Amino acid sequence: MSEEATIPPDATSEDRRIKFLLVAADCPEAYLAAFFTGRRARRSGARVAILHVMEPPEFGHWATVAETMRAEAEEKAGQLLNEFAAEVKAQSGEAPELIMREGVVVDEIRKLIEEDCDIAILFLGASTAQSGPGPLVSALAHKPAYLGARPIPVTVVPGSMTREELRRLSG
């Protein structure tokens, strides 16, 4: 399920560039974060990894229904990752690494950060809804330990910003 890249021990320093981790979700603020992440990657020479986490189906004994739902979710996740990849590539000039996992979003982010020592910054989009910035941004703001034993900076892209404002910030 996961398309994880491993760097061979004899990798060159070019292969060891830092990596920005972008969380892909089907919401406007995440697409805005993709735009900003790609631009920041170009400016800093970083690579981008895009993570999408699918919630596992909860049908227990209905295995056939669960498998059908899983296949549909994987297809939709693949389309979403491709949309995010196109935006990141358009802004950074480089195709990003695509990672699809199943589980709880915060747990999968933590695991990925622990597994991939090149990940240096996490990029998230924040919702403009009155209910708050979104469950992921809220969870990380209230409990940064979710990032695990190797904490990294988190860049939160406000969903209320325009692309022009983000262009000015990203150089």
In a domain, 15, yes or no: no
User: Mean of the pLDDT values across residues 129-154?
Assistant: 74
Which residues are CB-neighbours of 118 under 8 A, at least 6 positions away? 7, 16, 17, 18, 19, 47
Write out pLDDT tens, residues 67-117: 787 888 899 999 999 999 999 999 999 999 999 999 988 889 999 999 999
CATH of the domain at 153: 3.40.50.620
pLDDT for residue 2: 40
Overall domain count for the chain: 1
Residue with tokens 């262009």: 167
Write out pLDDT tens, residues 28-47: 999 999 999 999 999 999 99
pLDDT for residue 59: 59
* C-alpha to C-alpha distances, 32 to 26, 50, 62, nearest whole angstrom: 11, 14, 38
Residue with tokens 């709880």: 104
Structure-model confidence comparison of residues 61 and 81, the more confident one = 81
In a domain, 72, yes or no: yes
Q: Cα separation of 126 and 77, whole Å?
A: 20
In a domain, 167, yes or no: no
In a domain, 1, yes or no: no
Structure-model confidence comparison of residues 42 and 133, the more confident one = 42
Write out pLDDT tens, residues 5-28: 434 444 455 567 999 999 999 999
Structure-model confidence comparison of residues 138 and 165, the more confident one = 165
171 pLDDT band (50/70/90 cuts)?
confident
- In degrees and rounded to multiples of 5, residue 163 shows phi and psi of -60, -35
In a domain, 91, yes or no: yes
User: What is the domain range of residue 47?
Assistant: 21-160
Half-sphere exposure of 21 (CA within 13 A, CB side): 27
In a domain, 42, yes or no: yes
Question: Cβ distance 141 to 154 under 8 Å?
Answer: no
